[in-house]
Amino acid sequence: MAVTSICFLSSQHPPRDKRVFDKEAVSLAAAGLEAIHIAPGPEGSTRESGVKIITYGGASRLRRLPLLYRLAKQTNADVYHCNELDSWIVGLGLKLFCGKRVVFDVHEHYTSRFAERFFPKALHPAAAAFMRTVMALLARPTDRLVLAKRSVAADFPGSKNKQVLVQNFTRMSVNGSDNRDGADSTRNSSGIVTAIHLGLISKLRGWPQLVEALRLVDSAELRLHIVGEFNDGSQPEFERAIDDLGLRDRIVIEPWMRFEEAYKRIRAADIGLILFQPGIGNHQFALPHKLFDYMLAGLAVVAPHFAEEVSSIVLESDCGLLVDTSNPQDIARALNKLLRDPEERKRLGRNGTSAVLERYNWECEAEKLVHMYHDMEP
C-alpha cells in the first residue's frame, strides 16, 4: 500500500507560502496525491490548485501548537510534512501517539540561527554544536529529511540515508509563459535601467548599503524597484534616507503581492539584487528563491561573494556580478558596469535563463519529491 495523503504542517509559514504550498503541495496534488496544508491565518478552509488549505488562529505561535496538533490529527494523513522546528515536534508527537510517518523540510540553518540569536559570539560554536546534537536526536525517529539546500546536510550527521535534496529552484512556467526568451518586451527601451529587490528587505538585507550605492552611481538613469516588506521596522528610516539623499523620484516601493504579479515586475527590470550582509550564518549559506526568479527572467544578478551556494551558482552560470555587499562603493561599481554595458547585461541575463531551463528549475526538483513519496509506505 502506497502513501496517498500528505499533510503539510506550518506554525509560521503562510497558507500560500512559495515553497510549501506553491511548489511542494501543488506538485504533489498534480501527481495525484492528496495534499493538505495547515497554516496560521484567519480560521477556515478552502481548496486551491488541488490543495486543501486549513488555517487556524491563536494568541501566540506557542499556544497555537496544540491546535495545530488537533487539526493535523483530524486529517488522518499518511505522512506529516513539517516546515519549522516546532511543527516538527508536532509531527513527532503524531508519530509517537498515532504511528504516523514524519518528514522534516529543512529550509534554514537552524544551528547558526540558534547560536546567533541567543548567545554572545564567543559561545556561538558551542551553542551551534548543542543545537546540532538536539537535531540529530530528533532526526532519528524522523522518516525523511527534505533539504532545501546542500549546506544544511551538515546539521544532520549520521542521517544521510534519510536525506532527499529538493532545492528551491523556480518553475520554468510562470503566468502561462515558459520564459524561454528570458528578456521581456515590457522591459524599458528608453535608456532607463531598473534594478529590482524582491522579497523581505531590512538593514541586514542591505538597504543602507544599497541607498548609498544609488547615490554613488554615475547615472541618474538607474531606477530601484522594491517589491516586498520591511521586516525589521526600518521603513520610516529608509524613507527618510532616500528623501535626504534626493533619491525619492528614482525609487518605487510596492508591498508583498502574489508571485504571479511580482514576476511581472521582475520581467520589466534589468538587474536583480541580492544584498545579504556578512557575519550571519543563514546569509552565508542562503539559497533564496529570488536568485532563480531573476535568472529565469533574464536579469543580470548582483549578489554577495561570501554567500557560498549563491556565489557558486552565479559563477558557474556566468549570470551576474559578485560584490562585497557591506561596501556601497563595490555595489555601485557593479551597477555602473551593468549600466554602461547593455550588451554584457543582456549576455549575463541570457546565461541565467539558460541555466534555469537546463538545471535550476523546480520541475526537476518536484520529480524527486514525488518519487520520495511514491517510495514511502504509510
Let me know: does 81 contact 8? Beta carbons within 8 Å: yes
Count CA atoms within 13 Å of residue 192 on its CB side. Answer: 14
If asked whether residues 143 and 226 sit together in one domain, one would say no
Q: Please indicate, yes or no, if residue 241 is contained in any of the structural domains.
A: yes
Q: Please indicate, yes or no, if residue 288 is contained in any of the structural domains.
A: yes
If asked whether residues 222 and 308 sit together in one domain, one would say yes
First to last CA, the chain: 7
Q: Please indicate, yes or no, if residue 263 is contained in any of the structural domains.
A: yes
Per-residue pLDDT at 377 = 79
Per-residue pLDDT at 58 = 74
Residues 6+ apart with CB under 8 A from 189: none
**Distance set, CA 15 to CA 6, 19, 169, 170, 263 (Å):** 15, 11, 20, 19, 20
Residues 6+ apart with CB under 8 A from 215: 245, 247, 328
This prediction's pTM: 0.87
SS3 225: strand
DSSP string, 143-211: SEEEESSGGGGGGSTT-GGGEEE---PBPS-BTTB--TT-S-TTS--SS-EEEEEES-B-TTTTHHHHH
Q: Please indicate, yes or no, if residue 66 is contained in any of the structural domains.
A: yes
Let me know: does 291 contact 198? Beta carbons within 8 Å: no
Per-residue pLDDT at 228 = 93
If asked whether residues 334 and 365 sit together in one domain, one would say no
Query: Exposed e or buried b for every residue in 216-248, given b needs 16+ CB within 10 A?
Result: ebeeeebbbbbbbebeeebbeebeebbeeeebe
Q: Please indicate, yes or no, if residue 61 is contained in any of the structural domains.
A: yes
If asked whether residues 257 and 309 sit together in one domain, one would say yes
DSSP string, 283-321: HHT---HHHHHHHHTTPEEEEETT-HHHHHHHHHHT-EE
CA distance 266 to 296: 10
The domain spanning residue 100 has which CATH number? 3.40.50.2000
Per-residue pLDDT at 368 = 96
If asked whether residues 18 and 128 sit together in one domain, one would say yes
Q: Please indicate, yes or no, if residue 183 is contained in any of the structural domains.
A: no
How many domains is the chain built from?
2
If asked whether residues 258 and 120 sit together in one domain, one would say no
If asked whether residues 254 and 322 sit together in one domain, one would say yes
DSSP string, 234-265: -HHHHHHHHHHTT-GGGEEEE----HHHHHHH
Q: Please indicate, yes or no, if residue 305 is contained in any of the structural domains.
A: yes
If asked whether residues 366 and 340 sit together in one domain, one would say no
Per-residue pLDDT at 31 = 95
CA distance 351 to 137: 43
What residue numbers bound the domain in which 135 lies? 5-169+361-375
pLDDT digits (tens, 9 = 90+) for 140-160: 999 999 999 998 998 998 889
Rg (CA), the chain: 21
If asked whether residues 150 and 211 sit together in one domain, one would say no
Let me know: does 7 contact 80? Beta carbons within 8 Å: yes
pLDDT < 50: residue spans in the chain = 184-186
| Grid coordinates given for 326 | 557591506
Following CA atoms 58, 62, 63, 65 in sequence, which dihedral angle do they give, to the nearest 10 degrees?
Answer: 90
Per-residue pLDDT at 342 = 94
Residues 6+ apart with CB under 8 A from 26: 35, 49, 50, 51
**What are the φ/ψ torsions at residue 177 (nearest 5 degrees)?**
-115, 145
pLDDT digits (tens, 9 = 90+) for 187-236: 555 679 999 999 999 999 999 999 999 999 988 899 999 999 999 999 99
Q: Please indicate, yes or no, if residue 176 is contained in any of the structural domains.
A: no
Per-residue pLDDT at 157 = 86
Per-residue pLDDT at 307 = 95
If asked whether residues 117 and 165 sit together in one domain, one would say yes
If asked whether residues 12 and 159 sit together in one domain, one would say yes
If asked whether residues 19 and 83 sit together in one domain, one would say yes
